[in-house]
Amino acid sequence: MKKLISPHFVIVFLICSIFLAGKEPLRIPGTADRLKIDGVLDEKAWEQALVMELKYEVQPGENIEPPVRTEVLFMYSKSHFYVGFRAYDPDPSRIRVFYRERDNVGGDDWVGISLDTFNDQRHSYGFICNPFGVQSDEIASPEGGGESWDTIWDSAGRLTKEGYVVEMSIPFSSLRFQRKSGDQVWGVDAVRSYPRNVRHLISLFPWDRSNNCYMCQAEKVVGFAGASPGIDIELDPTLMGILTQQRKNRTEGDFINTTDKVEPGLTARWGITPSLTLSAAINPDFSNVEADVTQLDINRRFAIYYPEKRPFFLEGGSIFNTLLSAVYTRSLADPDWGIKITGKEGANAIGFFSVRDHMSNFLLPGSQDSRSATVDMGVVGSVLRYRRDVGKSSTVGILATDREGEGYFNRLAGVDGDLKVTPKDRIRFQFLGAQTHYPDRIVTDYKQPQDSFWGSALDLYYIHDTRTFDWFIGYIDISANFRADLGFMPQAGYRNMQLGGAHTWNRKAGYWFTVFNIGTTYQVEKDHDNNPLYNGIAFNLNYKGPVQSTLNITGNLGKRTFQGFEFDENYISFNGSIIPSRSINFFVNGLIGDGIDFDNMQGGNQIQLQCFMDYKLGRHVQFRLDHKFERFNVKGGRLYTANASFFRVLFQLNRRAFIRTILKYVDYKYNTGLYSFPIDPRSKHLFCQFLFAYEFNPQTVLYLGYADDYYGYHSIPLTQTNRTFFLKIGYALVL
């Protein structure tokens, strides 16, 4: 009798097949040549490169044949990873490309790669170029999305009769990768953005929209034997000169010098291993020459968030991101020195930094509002982060922060996780505990606890996401005494639960929509005494369609309680955009409905409107206008009117040098008879900045600029109150 196959063998065989199945890695050839990066791809070494074609349109079409042909070429030497693109176009005259600032190529045609250098299916480095070789780079992390990041690499691009060509040279010293002497397997994707009537996104491989792990689907390449970052030492000396003059009595009197100094600084980076980096700085340059876009701060309960743009904190910064915003480096205002280490060994990622700041900013949260304070006191802020890969694409981690000063400390620690339980289901959680002891001035002036006190924070989030349907449930519990002084958590002493879901319809180009989504969210929020703070339901509609148009509408029906009084919070909010041509794009958002006058404890109705326009004149000149308008009416009439304008003119001389002028103007008008306290009927502020910049790479730079402020009130015309002249020179010495 023939012996039957054991069922145990079948089970083992199937399990092994599942785990061993996957994409066969494609070999990337090596070369001993040092290639010239000129956007031509004519060196003989390119003939040996691995050539792959981008065969799938993944947005808006779902893994269909793309409208244009694109080839990507891969090759490496001992010290560099080389990438070439041939982007074919049936009508090259319609290619959208301009000379732009670095990290600002999103509206153009572009090509890029994502590199999972650890093959851990969690992180990826992104390198993007438009057809002129203008660069953008980012790091995608398990927390989701792309994080700003600046590193040194070379690129070039040029338009051709067939489309355009882009060439990239990425030093291994600018990457972190596995510490192996032999072959390595990396995950890779190559992407092309092709914006016409709609923006087509084209990829190397088909994207499963019901899979929450992007890099799990990536192509695999093998090679890089002998790849080395070299000595991997980078020295970035800087020299900054600044002269600030200010009137003696703000809007009256002569100008006097308040700052007059020349400061040298040095930041050093050492790649201890291919996967671990140590950075240190003495009198570091943490200056920020990019002015924040103006935001209205009238009638706001909580502090306003501003994104980080300073290079020292962006380097390796993604590892410090967690579900709760417990690390917010802009809380460190003007550091004297800093030290940082970031990297990954095997399944273990680690990050640490310590910074000495000579002033202390405090964010004092409450359940219904927050307050800010600054104390002229030196503090040392330190953060330790550890994260461990678990399973195929999940992570768990710990976070600890500490800020210490004279008579003051804030210490925080906790655990977190990002668990992808199925390709469609994801659980994220974080629990933190914190102990705080405030300095005497904060205790006295802001009525904070005199002795040290404890607090805790919990955030739990579950999402089920597929190509057509998603639902989620979230729960947040922040105790009243929880403080994260190195983070941005402006609300404390509350519990919030949210539950929602949505359905999505997707269509390829040619339909009246490419994405149509409708959904609803219910949330309830209470303080820790079980008093209601908010209860409401929102209905959402999201649309994408021809002419790269988008429209998002939210209708909200709710009740909000503030200082024991209940107010309606019924409103409609919206935002939309359209790009009718390669030279111009429009954006608008707004809100119409109920509001609360928090200063005078009364309800009312409000209108908020923002209009944004970006216009390009030729390849080199760009105009940007952003205007915000807000109006609030109460029973007695118009309470206030607020206007804020942001205007920028940019003359991009080439892809490395530009001249820029920024004007920011804010005008508030108050009806004093409707306020319960004295208030000036009008306040105005004008900020002006002129800047010449040359950026050879993110660290080799020259900035020469001038800025000033003008203030005015009801009885005082707009008057110049200060002016600043500044010069910054930075140089990257890579060994």
Convert the pLDDT of each residue in 364-422 to its tens digit: 999 999 999 988 899 999 999 999 999 988 999 999 999 999 999 999 999 999 999 99
Structure-block tokens of residue 526: 């209470």
Total residues found in the chain within this entry: 735
The whole-angstrom distance between residue 498's C-alpha and the CA centroid of its chain comes to: 24
**Residue carrying structure tokens 């041939």:** 86
Has residue 225 got a pLDDT over 60? yes
Nearest to 85 by CA among 160, 203, 164, 138: 164
C-alpha of 655 from chain center: 23
| Cα atoms in the 13 Å half-sphere on the side-chain side of 647 | 7
Q: Give the pLDDT band (50/70/90) at residue 543.
A: very high
Report the distance separating Cα 442 and Cα 438, nearest Å: 6
Q: What is the pLDDT of residue 295?
A: 61
The phi, psi pair for 345, rounded to 5°, reads: -125, 115
Distance CA 340, CA 733 (A): 19
- Percent of the chain at pLDDT > 90 equals 77
Backbone angles phi, psi at 368, to 5 degrees: -125, -10
HSE toward the beta carbon, residue 111, CA cutoff 13 A: 30
For residue 221, give the DSSP letter: E
User: For residue 550, what are the contacts with CB-CB under 8 A and spacing of at least 6?
Assistant: 542, 543, 544, 575, 576, 577, 578
Which residue reads 């800010």 in tokens? 372
Q: At which residue do the structure tokens 């399973």 appear? A: 391
411-469 pLDDT, tens digit per residue, is 999 999 999 999 999 999 999 999 999 999 999 999 999 999 999 999 999 999 999 99
| 558-564 contact pairs (CB < 8 A, 24+) | 558/534, 559/532, 559/534, 559/535, 560/533, 560/534, 560/536, 560/596, 561/531, 561/532, 561/533, 561/534, 562/368, 562/596, 562/598, 562/601, 563/368, 563/601, 564/531
Instruction: Please report, for residues 52, 179, 315, 434, 451, the alpha-carbon distance to residue 28 in angstroms, rounded to integers and kept in the order given.
Output: 11, 18, 28, 49, 62
Determine the average pLDDT of the residues in 586-606.
Answer: 96
pTM, two decimals, is 0.88
Over range 545-556, report the average pLDDT.
97
Express each pLDDT in 80-128 by its tens digit: 999 999 999 999 999 999 999 998 898 999 999 999 999 998 889 999 9
Q: How far is Cα 189 from Cα 180, in angstroms, rounded to an integer?
A: 22
Q: How far apart are CA 667 and CA 456, in angstroms?
A: 40
The CB density around residue 2, as the number of other CB atoms within 10 Å, is 4
Burial class (CB in 10 A: 0-12, 13-18, 19+), 175: buried
Q: Residue 520 pLDDT > 90, yes or no?
A: yes
How far from 61 is each of 56, 196, 311, 661, 720, CA to CA, in Å? Answer: 9, 14, 37, 40, 54
> How does strand 233-247 pair with strand 733-734?
antiparallel
DSSP state of 485: T
pLDDT at 316 over 80: no
Segment among 64-68, 286-290, 565-569 with least mean pLDDT = 286-290
Task: Tell me which fold the domain 25-223 belongs to.
Answer: Immunoglobulin-like (2.60.40)
Rounded average pLDDT over 700-704: 93
What is the pLDDT averaged over residues 241-265?
89
Place of tokens 């989504």: 517
Structure tokens at 549: 């148009």
Tell me if residue 317 falls in helix, strand or coil.
Answer: helix
Asked if 561 and 526 count as a contact pair (C-beta separation under 8 A), the reply is: no
Query: What's the per-residue H, E or C state across 573-612?
Result: EEEEEEEEECCEEEEEEEEEEEEEECCCCEEEEEEEEEEE
- Residue 351's nearest CA partner among 335, 338, 337, 340 is 340
Report whether 353 contacts 332 (CB < 8 A).
no
Rounded to a whole number of angstroms, the distance between the first and last alpha carbons of the chain is: 73
pLDDT of residue 274: 87
661: alpha, beta or left, given left = phi > 0 and alpha = psi -120 to 50? beta
Q: What pLDDT was estimated at residue 569? A: 96
Taking alpha carbons only, the member of 379, 268, 270 closest to residue 333 is: 379
